[in-house]
Structure formats: structure tokens, C-alpha cells
Amino acid sequence: MTDDEKPLVVQSDFTIFLDVHSPVFREARDKLMRFAELVKSPEHMHVYRITPLSLWNAASAGVSAAWIMETLRSLSRYEVPSNLAAEIEEKTSRFGLLKLVRSDGALVLAARDDEILREVLALSRIKDFVQGQNGAASCVVDPGRRGQLKLALIKAGYPVEDLAGYREGSPLSVSLRGTAASGLPFELRPYQTESVEAFHAGGSVQGGSGVVVLPCGAGKTIVGMAVMARVGMSTLILSTSVTALRQWRRELLDKTCLTEDQVGEYSGEVKEVKPVTLSTYQIMTYRRSKTDAFAHLDIFSKGDWGLVVYDEVHLLPAPVFRFTAEIQATRRLGLTATLIREDGREDEVFSLIGPKKYDIPWRVLEQRGWIADARCTEIRTELEPALRARYLSAGAREKFRLASENPRKQDLVVRLVERHAGDLVLIIGQYLEQLERLRQTLGCPLITGRTPHKTREDLYAKFRRGDLRTLVVSKVGNFAVDLPDANVAIQVSGTFGSRQEEAQRLGRILRPKAGGGGARFYSIVTRQTRDQEFAEKRQLFLTEQGYEYEIHDARRYEESPS
């Protein structure tokens, strides 16, 4: 490969340009995602940035500074700036400079050398955690503030490797059930086994806390159950909604040997604490007023938990973050399709739940047939002249809403539903008035946050059976909706530039189809508006995973269905 064919241009400010036309574009992209973050993805050059957190996650997964530099040098069109090697070495080496360990029953912060420890102890925010010296390069710290110490240190640029171990919760035998057809144990896919092993680490202090990143439809729930079987202790599972909670319950009773009296629901409707307890982030953060205490956070201390599973960990709310800081002696598994948080608190997930333990490019799973082959299409339409004039004089938020609710989108949805008359179609959006108009036009049901759970479950069941072929859903459809045969999703509006939302919505249609076949994801946006600007931001994560958006003009869909 000549220098001109190499795909990377590496800048001294840690920015990397990736040429999408290079013959080794895909290889370079898959390597970059291990230690850099995608920032922009225009047509010809994708822009990545190396950040401290991206390097710490890489280091925690065993990626060395030497491998990163060799990757950059072998793929860079020009000489890699000389400052990068030292900076990357310094940043990656910070993971492991400080370790939390147990020594004679005490919690000890151990540094690589006494100079590092002196630097850390000079930080004003750290002094309150220290209870005494433990030698030249270590000190005893408050065991009840293990999480708060880790948070304070990462904010100061010192990610701690936590090797202090965990208390043993109540023992609970969990085994994966044999299938009725074969009598054999439920068989994990290879990548699911790899993710369980990466998290558990043979029961050593290197394992037991961290995040497994897998696309929707790849079986994150299965991974959670396999971890439960490996840990063998009472488990608290937190999820995004009652629908998700009950989906977990169905899967646990179907695929493990747990019985109904061992699995409890702690929700707004039922308050059960059992060896495996399922709850939601909403109930955890419920309080009567902003000045009242959180009424249900004590569930963390009600059971003798040996494992806490955080489903869709990228949505972890602040109060649960705070309580998680107090239970660092309990094993913690985060499950998610994307570690992106729109509030920028990825470092807190890293500190309090644990580093990324397993990740695999979505396209790799697609190529191996574990998730459906998906085509992504962005359809651009115009604002009518009267609305364009109103748009130009509106404020920023009003501009986004006007463009998102563009009436021309409704006609496009009708056309797309006609084209996919034989498919199972999900229509997903942000604004309830827009969705209500679509419900009336299409004559199909609408599910929102106000829809009773019983009605939701009935509609989802009809959709799974094929009795209902088109369903309109609000943001409640973003997460944990098990609709395995859905193969078309039409996004009419989104939450500003939310990358994780885009990933979750594509994930609704990624489960492998019973008869094979692919999936289609349409995103309808209004041309040359804030709607289009935010669409480009939303697509970043999926672009990093290897998905390409075809850009179509709306006039293409004015023809008869083909």
C-alpha cells in the first residue's frame, strides 16, 4: 500500500481524518473505534478524536500505547506528529497508576511510586478520603466512600483500577435451562461467551464490574443471565420501563431454571423483593417533590445483593449514580448498545459501574448473521413556503420543532407504508401531536408514555403475531421492546442530536428474522433546517459502527410503490 492509499491523516491536536475512499477504510475504522471517538462523518473524510477517556477504556481492555502508535503509523498518509507518542503513552499509563486494593482488611489506595501518591494527596478534593499512611506509596482510605473517591480521582485525571474485590451476597443457584427440543443447555453465541468471560475474568479481582456493549438484538439479556449463572448470587436488575422489566422476567423464566417465586417485581404496581428482583430507574428516582427523599432507593440495601445489573446503562439517572457510588463492594454489570451519554457523564459510568469490558463492531455481527442486515436511508423533504417564512423568524427550539413536524413528512410516511405493505413497520417519533395525526391517517394504533401497560403489551403481542402490521410509537419505543420480526422502522422526528437514540431506534429492527432477510431504517428530515443538522449528529454512532446512510430526495417517493 502506497502512502497515498493510506487512509489516515493524524493531527497534533489528537484529531484524525479517515478517508472513506481508501481500500482499507473498514479495517482502519474498526481499529480506530478501539481508542478514538467519531466526531463528524461528512461524505469523504470522517473525523475522529483521541480523548483521555477513550484511551483509558482502551487501556482497561488491554490495548497498549505501542499498539495504538503502530496503528497510527502504519495507516497514516503522513508522518505522525512527534508529540502524540508521549501524550498517548502518558494518558494510557494513567490507568493503573493508582489501584484500590485490600490489605489486612483495610481499603488501600496504592500508587505506582511515592511521587505519584504525593501528587494525588496534594489535591484538595482527595484529602478528606484518606485515613492514614500505609507505606511510602499507599494510604488507607475510607471504605464507605470508595465510589466517591474514584469519582474525585477520575475528575482529576486519575482513573483508578479497582482491585479491592467484592462482598459475597446471598448465594443463588442460576443455571441456563435445557431446550425442550434437544434437552441441551441453552447455547450462548461465541461473542456472548466472550463478553461473559471478559466481565467475570475467572472470578478474579480484575472482573466483576464493567460494561458490555452489544447492539440491540444481539442478546444483551442473555449475557446478563449468563453472568448471573456465573456469579451465583442474589441479583437486582434495573431497567428502563415496566415493559422492559417484564420482558426480563419472561426471559428469566423461559431460559433459566429460576422459578416464579424466586423472581420479584418492584414497580409502581407491585413491591416484591425476592432473590432476583426487577425494578426500573423511574421507581428508583421517584419522590413526591424535589425536596423529599427518594422513596425507593433503599431497595439497594433491602436485599443482600451479590450483583446489580444496569440495563441500558447509558441512561442511568443521577440519583442512581449517587447510590451506586455507595455500593462499590457489590458486583456491577452495565449493559448497553452505546456508551454515549448526551450529558457527557461517560467518565462516571467508567468509575462507578466499571470500564468497558467488551465491545464488537455491529457490522461484524451482521456479517456473521447474528443481527439483521440493515440499510439506512435519509429522505430529505422541503418546508412549504409559508412554513419556511415562519421558520426563518422563529427561535432555535421552535425552528427545530417546526422542521421536525413538517406536514410533508406525513405524506412520505404513507408512501413508505404502502411500499412496505407486506412488512412489519414501526413508525417512531418525538412529538405526540405529529404521531396522533399519523395514527389517524394510517388507521393504526399509537403507543405513548400514557398508554396503559396492559394495552401496550396487547398491542406488542399483536404486532409479534403479525395480526397488526403497522404500529406508531413515541420515545417509549426506543428501549427494550422485543419485536423480533419488525423489519422496517420510519423515524419522523428525534431528540435533537441524540446519537444513542438513533442507535436504539435502529436496534428495534436488528433481530435476525425468522425467514432471513434484511431490515430498512428510514429517517425523514427537513432539508436545510436544524432538523437536518441534528440528523447528521444523530447518525454519528451508527456511522462509526459501519452503517452508511443513503441520501434520497423526497420526490423519489412520489412515484407509485415499487
> Average of pLDDT values for 333-353?
86
pLDDT at position 479 over 70: no
374 shares its domain with 239? no
- Does residue 210 share a domain with residue 247? yes
Clarify whether residues 158 and 233 are in a common domain. no
- Do residues 374 and 494 share a domain? yes
pLDDT at 183: 46
Domain that holds residue 7: 3-94
Alpha-carbon distance of 391 to 380, in angstroms, equals 17
Task: Kindly state whether residue 374 falls inside one of the protein's structural domains.
Answer: yes
CATH of the domain at 416: 3.40.50.300
Domain check: are 82 and 127 in the same one?
no
- The backbone region for 456, taken as left when phi is positive above 0, alpha when psi lies in -120 to 50, beta otherwise, is alpha
CB-CB contact of 414 with 442 (8 Å): yes
pLDDT digits (tens, 9 = 90+) for 76-114: 999 999 999 999 999 999 998 999 999 998 999 999 999
Q: Are residues 78 and 104 in the same domain?
A: no
**Mean pLDDT across the chain:** 88
Dihedral angle of Cα 162, 167, 171, 175, to the nearest 10 degrees: 0
Give the mean pLDDT of 330-357.
Answer: 88
All three cell numbers of 429:
417519533
Average pLDDT, stretch 131-143? 91
Residues 26 and 42: their CA atoms lie apart, in Å, by 16
| Tens digit of each residue's pLDDT (9 = 90 or more) over 113-128 | 999 999 999 998 898 8
Q: Give the span between the Cα atoms of 332 and 37, in whole angstroms.
A: 25
With respect to residue 172, please indicate whether it lies within any of the assigned structural domains: no
- Condensed to tens digits (0 to 9), the pLDDT of residues 283-308 reads 888 888 878 878 788 888 778 999 99
Q: How far apart are CA 503 and CA 540, in angstroms?
A: 9
Residues 77 and 199 in one domain: no
Whether residue 195 sits in one domain with residue 222: yes
Residue whose C-alpha is closest to residue 195's, from 174, 152, 226, 149: 226
Q: Coil, helix or strand for 423?
A: coil
Write down which residue in 70, 94, 118 finishes a domain.
Answer: 94
Task: Find cell 417484564 and name the residue.
Answer: 246
Consecutive H or E run containing 415: helix 408-419
Same domain membership, residue 551 and residue 409: yes
Same domain, 515 and 467: yes
How many whole angstroms separate alpha carbon 520 and alpha carbon 343? 29
Pick from 341, 360, 379: which residue ends a domain?
360
CA-based R_g, the chain, Å? 25
